[in-house]
Amino acid sequence: MSDLGDRIGERFEWMSGAELAEFQSEALRRSVAQAARSPYYGVRFADLGLKPGDVKTRDDITKLPFTTKEDLRLSYPTGMLTVPPREVVRMHTSSGTTGKPTAIFHTREDVDCWAELMARCLAMAGARSDDIFQNMSGYGLFTGGLGLHYGAERLGMWVIPAGAGNTARQILLIRDFHVTVIHATPSYAMHVAERMVQDGDNPKSLGIRIAALGAEPYTEELRLKLQDLYGFKAFNSYGLSEMNGPGVAFECPEQNGMHIWEDAYLVEIIDPDTLQPVEEGQVGELVMTTLRRAAMPILRYRTRDLTRVIPGECPCGRKHLRMARMVGRSDDMLIVRAVNVFPSQIEEVIMRNKWIGGNYVIHLTKKEALDQMTVKVEIAKAAFDGSIETVRRLRDQLQRELRDQIGFTANVDVLEPGSLPVSEGKAKRVIDERE
Ligand code: ADP
Ligand code: ZN
């Protein structure tokens, strides 16, 4: 019998552009009608004089209002719920990286659909039912735990719900159970590798084939470094609680951009200032509408994530849009001495340097009204020869490379391995103490 991994994408994954468009229009009509049942959209539609019937095809999406994180907060706790409470089987909240959480609800069909989307991601990357999967992500309200868990289980993988943290146990489980597929944040995967190297162990000896890495922004340079350390193929995984969680977009074997499952999400990329669509291929804010969620449809959700669509067809044959690596969140951008800097620009430079470990922190302070930026990195154990002169030379070199990238001089601190705080989930890369 063929593996479910070979079949799970059959219904939606290979649709032609025209089939996708037709499915999206139909699903959008359903979603809008469903949304109108919630107290929140009910009032919103009435205010705008909008009737669900006004939306006939996916091009009518522009008739609908945007939904923001603030709208979700205002409708907290259940203002966007469209079904009687007894039909709800699960809720999650966003991890609250940026303020008060927002609650998202799912019916039985919703969690089934989410598991299918997630299973399609893992299958697309090459996972099959004979793989052993370790989920190194926090469980609970955070969607990276149960989201990946149910997707992997749906595929029939042997699932180890290791949860976040406890690095020694993670390594032990991977080794003893011959884990072949993992899910983690890239920063935590880096921490596990460094810990092994520090203990004279080799991450390659674990034999992991596939890693789903996401939940936080990271650069191509960090991916390459991790692939090199572990010998696995790393696939970028994108999602957000408001759109279920993981399972929204994922890389195919081409590892060149993430396919967004367009049967479940209608995608727009807009200019965050004018709210108009950007030219194809330009960077803008990702806006998404749920097409397959009943308990809590969300229309034109402004994710605040900045990305662009990769034009052209993917050699893998899937017509679902490909999205480039996230530039960051619109609210991630740092303004330092009136210069706009994204943490990812700094990470790019850091990860290119083999002598630097995988962890880093950007520390912002003020000195006599002038912004000060200090980039703190750890020297890799293998690169430290005991000489202060070496450290000084490496620091000056990094400072020059950073200046070329960001246009001003940052302070650089080169620290011993293991000096910087480690996060088990999403890494906190920026400490801003400028008030
Ligand atoms: P919170 O918004 O509180 O962090 P979530 O856990 O829902 O809650 O996080 C979703 C956010 O995480 C996304 O909006 C995005 O900013 C970030 N994210 C998730 N996956 C990726 C990824 N692969 N690349 C970059 N950013 C990501
Ligand atoms: Zn592809």
Task: Give burial (CB, 10 Å; 0-12/13-18/19+) of 367.
Answer: exposed
Q: Is the peptide bond before 77 cis (omega within 30 degrees of 0)?
A: yes
Residue partners of 253: CB distance under 8 A and separation at least 6: 124, 125, 126, 233, 316
For residue 94, the ligand 1 atom closest to its alpha carbon is 8
Output the pLDDT for position 134: 98
Q: Which of 97, 137, 148 most suits a substitution to test ligand 1, by most atoms within 8 Å of the C-beta? A: 97
Vertex 152 angle, CA 146 and 154, to 5°: 100
Enumerate residues with CB within 5 Å of ligand 2 (an ion). Answer: 252, 254, 314, 316, 318
Task: Give burial (CB, 10 Å; 0-12/13-18/19+) of 388.
Answer: exposed
Buried b (16+ CB within 10 A) or exposed e, 344-356: bbbbbbbbebebb
CA atoms within a 13 Å half-sphere pointing along the CA-CB vector of 30: 16
The pLDDT tens digits of the residues spanning 244-276 come to: 999 999 999 999 999 999 999 999 999 999 999
For residue 332, the ligand 1 atom closest to its alpha carbon is 16
Residue of 98 and 262 predicted with greater confidence: 262
Instruction: State how far the Cα of 98 lies from the Cα of 222, in Å rounded to an integer.
Output: 24
CA atoms within a 13 Å half-sphere pointing along the CA-CB vector of 113: 20
Output the pLDDT for position 202: 98
Q: Which residues line ligand 1 (CB under 6 A)?
A: 94-98, 214-217, 236-241, 303, 305, 326, 329
At residue 97 the predicted structure's pLDDT band, cuts being 50, 70 and 90, is low
For residue 329, the ligand 1 atom closest to its alpha carbon is 16
At residue 333 the predicted structure's pLDDT band, cuts being 50, 70 and 90, is confident
The distance between the two most distant Cα atoms of the chain, rounded to a whole number of Å, is: 73
Q: Please determine, for residue 424, whether its predicted confidence score (pLDDT) is greater than 90.
A: no
At residue 286 the predicted structure's pLDDT band, cuts being 50, 70 and 90, is very high
What's the whole-model pTM score?
0.93
At residue 144 the predicted structure's pLDDT band, cuts being 50, 70 and 90, is very high
Q: Please determine, for residue 100, whether its predicted confidence score (pLDDT) is greater than 80.
A: no
The residue contributing the CA closest to ligand 1 atom 13 is 240
Instruction: State how far the Cα of 190 lies from the Cα of 80, in Å rounded to an integer.
Output: 38
Residue partners of 217: CB distance under 8 A and separation at least 6: 325, 326, 327, 328, 329, 332, 343, 344
Residue of 98 and 100 predicted with greater confidence: 100
Q: 374: part of which helix (H) or strand (E)? A: strand 370-379
Instruction: State how far the Cα of 271 lies from the Cα of 173, in Å rounded to an integer.
Output: 46
Q: Please determine, for residue 85, whether its predicted confidence score (pLDDT) is greater than 80.
A: yes
At residue 423 the predicted structure's pLDDT band, cuts being 50, 70 and 90, is confident
The residue contributing the CA closest to ligand 1 atom 20 is 215
Output the pLDDT for position 114: 98
Instruction: State how far the Cα of 232 lies from the Cα of 125, in Å rounded to an integer.
Output: 12
If you average pLDDT over residues 288-304, what whole number do you get? 98
Instruction: State how far the Cα of 215 lies from the Cα of 303, in Å rounded to an integer.
Output: 13
At residue 381 the predicted structure's pLDDT band, cuts being 50, 70 and 90, is confident
* 209 closest CA partner among 170, 183, 190, 240: 183
Q: Please determine, for residue 382, whether its predicted confidence score (pLDDT) is greater than 80.
A: yes
Output the pLDDT for position 98: 61
Residue 320 token pair: 């679902």
| Residue linked to tokens 């709208």 | 71
Note whether 103 and 69 are within 8 A (CB).
no
Q: Please determine, for residue 94, whether its predicted confidence score (pLDDT) is greater than 90.
A: no
Q: Please determine, for residue 64, whether its predicted confidence score (pLDDT) is greater than 90.
A: yes
At residue 101 the predicted structure's pLDDT band, cuts being 50, 70 and 90, is confident
Residue of 64 and 339 predicted with greater confidence: 64
Output the pLDDT for position 95: 60
